[in-house]
């Protein structure tokens, strides 16, 4: 929402919001030295319009998050690369080894394929919502608007815990990846891990103090390296499978016959569901970044479509090759660490082929992946904290956003929590980090299920109020049915996780083992029930649903004309371009 007054004249008025681009222009030409302007950039910019005084808290929160002064500095290339490489990390490079060991190559492919189809539907639902409502902290905001404020509160804090816990975990994981070179006598591996943790901590916090642009540029570089590494492995894997490695000999489907395609039957497949969900976590960050995207109408639909290629190319094809090159009973696959590069099936495949040097290259890629997740942790948690503050579901100071568009309080809170990483110098670090990991273990599943349910509720609201999907700038490619499928699949993953947590594969049941896997569920339940009892918010009914507040204003006739012109242009380019535009 634009404000016509000079933003400086509004300082101290806590009830007005200022357009960030206009504010930035004023500050750029303002008086004072560069140092003074830098200091002024930390002053609050979350000024609100006095015209909002008659609105409800939910309506005020929606406008606050939709028109927050977060700088829309993420460009199309940032969004596309985050969409392609954002979720490529240790879950794929290392965690897939545990899935292969417990499930076998067939379970590995089936599990990742089913979770991938679920995520494809989920991201399409999220794409429709974020293009319509590109608001900060989208997951919690949508739950508050379309389901129940209590559920929005639970989902907001669930998402904060997922990423704020991941920050110190990834810092320690990054220091652990360097220990891979200890056997080579590399001096870097002899340095105290706490020293490396300090370096990575300062680096990631500094990147995020540059705002959305700092995050976007870092993720662009990180994702590009990860994408190149996966494509390189696929090419190498095809050559090795066909017998072109140093040791020679055609491999083909040998390991699917001996030791076999399945390692532990149906329970092994269920365990792969859980690991696949962990590997895909972070895909939804494209939706979170929508509030800081220059043109969500153009960039977000493309990013949504590219999820298909990420699932197919970077997961299904690469894991198919892994299953061909590494037998599930390979002893090197077993490791208690999620960042033990020696247990990565990618590295094992390279070593088994007799290729030297490449394992170190993949260790660098794993290190970059870990730092990428740490960078995303600060970005995601700080934005969600700011949204919770704007919705009065956290102290108001949590919603503080400065003139440079940084959710300053959220970044500071995440940075303080990240200091837990120095527990790595203690002999209790394993116990501490096991329970931290348990807190965020199921968070992404709850988030994805909530996104699908919010999309179903949004469509129900449109229908109940007699409105059409014509007014949507982007519609989910799998529609209402896709969200039903995505929601049901998420529920099945939660059930499968409950079963494998209660009766672990190859282990005896225990309360400690159960809660180390399923702790996130009772946390979500406590947050929801506690908020519901304390504030007693009503469930949002379809006929009362607010479908306009916080939406980017559009002219439906102009939008339909624009879409018709785009379709006509696509038709005029031939069938190859039509296929490309549909999938990309």
List, in order of start, the domains of the chain with CATH numbers. Answer: 70-553 (1.20.1740.10)
C-alpha neighbours within 13 Å on the C-beta side of residue 75: 6
Task: Give 14's contacts (C-beta < 8 A, 6+ positions apart).
Answer: 47, 48
Neighbour count for residue 106 (Cβ, 10 Å): 18
User: Residue 370 has which token pair?
Assistant: 């870990």
Specify the pLDDT at position 83.
67
Whether residue 450 contacts residue 150, with contact meaning beta carbons closer than 8 Å, is answered with no
What are the helix and strand counts (H, E) for the chain?
26, 0
Specify the pLDDT at position 327.
93
Specify the pLDDT at position 527.
95
Whether residue 138 contacts residue 290, with contact meaning beta carbons closer than 8 Å, is answered with yes
Specify the pLDDT at position 20.
40
Whether residue 238 contacts residue 322, with contact meaning beta carbons closer than 8 Å, is answered with no
Whether residue 309 contacts residue 582, with contact meaning beta carbons closer than 8 Å, is answered with no
Task: Give 508's contacts (C-beta < 8 A, 6+ positions apart).
Answer: none
Per-residue pLDDT of the chain (584 residues; tens, 9 = 90+): 444 444 334 333 333 333 444 444 344 444 457 777 777 777 776 444 445 555 555 555 555 555 555 656 677 777 777 766 666 777 888 888 888 998 999 999 999 999 989 988 998 899 889 888 877 666 788 898 899 999 999 999 999 999 999 899 888 888 888 888 877 777 777 888 888 899 999 999 999 888 778 888 888 899 889 889 999 999 999 999 998 888 778 888 999 998 999 988 888 888 888 778 878 888 888 777 666 676 666 777 777 777 777 777 788 899 999 999 999 998 888 766 666 666 789 888 888 888 888 888 888 888 898 889 889 899 889 988 988 888 888 898 998 888 777 888 999 999 999 999 888 777 777 777 777 777 777 888 999 999 999 999 999 999 999 988 888 888 888 889 999 999 999 999 899 888 888 888 777 788 887 887 888 899 999 999 999 999 999 999 999 998 887 676 666 677 677 777 777 777 788 778 777 776 66
Closest CA to 237 of 392, 76, 353: 353
541 DSSP assignment: P
Q: What is the DSSP string of 199-235?
A: HHHHHHHHHHTTHHHHHHHHHHHHHHHHHHHHHHHHH
Neighbour count for residue 5 (Cβ, 10 Å): 11
Q: What is the 3-state secondary structure (H, E, C) of 487-503?
A: HHHHHHHHHHHHHHHHC
User: Residue 338 has which token pair?
Assistant: 């999620």
Instruction: Tell me how far CA of residue 311 lies from CA of 16, 120, 314, in angstroms.
Output: 43, 8, 6
Task: Give 462's contacts (C-beta < 8 A, 6+ positions apart).
Answer: 468, 469, 547
Specify the pLDDT at position 5.
42
Neighbour count for residue 167 (Cβ, 10 Å): 27
Closest CA to 67 of 81, 80, 48, 54: 48
Neighbour count for residue 59 (Cβ, 10 Å): 16
Place of tokens 């979170």: 288
- d(CA 187, CA 377) in angstroms, rounded, equals 29
Q: Is 26 buried (19+), middle (13-18) or exposed (0-12) by CB count in 10 A? A: middle
Query: Cα-atom radius of gyration of the chain, to the nearest Å?
Result: 24
């Amino acid at each position: 929402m634009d404000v016509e007054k000079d933003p400086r004249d509004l300082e101290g008025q806590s009830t007005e919001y200022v357009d960030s681009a206009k504010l930035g222009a004023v500050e750029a030409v303002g008086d004072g030295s560069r140092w003074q302007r830098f200091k002024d950039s930390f002053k609050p910019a979350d000024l609100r319009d006095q015209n909002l005084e008659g609105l409800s808290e939910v309506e005020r929160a929606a406008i606050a998050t939709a028109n927050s002064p977060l700088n829309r500095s993420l460009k199309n290339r940032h969004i596309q690369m985050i969409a392609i490489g954002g979720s490529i990390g240790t879950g794929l490079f290392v965690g897939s080894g545990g899935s292969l060991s417990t499930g076998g190559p067939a379970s590995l492919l089936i599990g990742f394929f089913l979770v991938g189809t679920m995520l494809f539907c989920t991201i399409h639902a999220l794409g429709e919502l974020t293009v319509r409502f590109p608001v900060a902290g989208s997951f919690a905001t949508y739950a508050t608007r379309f389901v129940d404020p209590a559920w929005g509160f639970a989902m907001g804090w669930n998402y904060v815990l997922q990423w704020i816990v991941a920050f110190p975990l990834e810092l320690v994981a990054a220091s652990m990846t360097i220990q891979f070179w200890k056997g080579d006598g590399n001096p870097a591996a002899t340095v105290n891990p706490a020293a490396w943790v300090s370096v990575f901590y300062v680096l990631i916090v500094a990147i995020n103090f540059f705002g959305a642009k700092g995050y976007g540029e870092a993720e662009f570089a990180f994702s590009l390296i990860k994408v190149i590494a996966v494509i390189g492995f696929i090419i190498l894997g095809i050559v090795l499978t066909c017998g072109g490695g140093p040791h020679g000999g055609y491999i083909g489907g040998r390991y699917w016959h001996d030791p076999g395609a399945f390692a532990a039957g149906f329970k092994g497949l269920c365990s792969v569901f859980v690991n696949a969900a962990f590997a895909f976590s972070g895909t939804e960050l494209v939706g979170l970044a929508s509030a800081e995207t220059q043109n969500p109408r153009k960039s977000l639909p493309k990013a949504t479509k590219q999820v298909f290629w990420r699932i197919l190319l970077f997961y299904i094809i690469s894991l198919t090759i892994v299953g061909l090159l590494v037998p599930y009973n390979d002893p090197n696959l077993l490791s208690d660490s999620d960042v033990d590069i020696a247990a990565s099936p990618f590295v094992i495949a390279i070593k088994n082929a007799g290729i030297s040097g490449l394992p170190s290259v993949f260790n660098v890629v794993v290190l970059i992946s870990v730092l990428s997740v740490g960078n995303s942790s600060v970005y995601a948690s700080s934005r969600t904290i700011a949204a919770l503050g704007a919705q009065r579901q956290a102290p108001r100071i949590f919603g503080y956003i400065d003139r440079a568009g940084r959710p300053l309080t959220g970044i500071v809170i995440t940075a303080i929590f990240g200091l837990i990483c120095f527990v790595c110098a203690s002999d209790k670090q394993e116990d501490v980090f096991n329970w931290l990991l348990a807190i965020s273990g199921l968070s992404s599943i709850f988030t994805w299920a909530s996104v699908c349910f919010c999309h179903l509720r949004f469509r129900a609201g449109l229908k109940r109020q007699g409105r059409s999907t014509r007014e949507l700038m982007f519609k989910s490619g799998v529609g209402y049915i896709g969200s039903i499928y995505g929601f049901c699949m998420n529920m099945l993953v939660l059930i499968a996780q409950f079963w494998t947590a209660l009766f672990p594969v190859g282990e005896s049941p225990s309360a400690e083992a159960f809660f180390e896997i399923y702790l996130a569920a009772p946390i979500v339940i406590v947050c929801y029930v506690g908020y519901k009892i304390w504030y007693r918010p009503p469930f949002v009914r379809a006929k009362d649903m607010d479908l306009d507040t916080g939406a980017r204003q559009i002219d439906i006739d102009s939008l339909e004309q624009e879409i018709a012109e785009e379709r006509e242009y696509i038709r005029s380019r031939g069938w190859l371009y039509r296929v490309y535009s549909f999938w990309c």
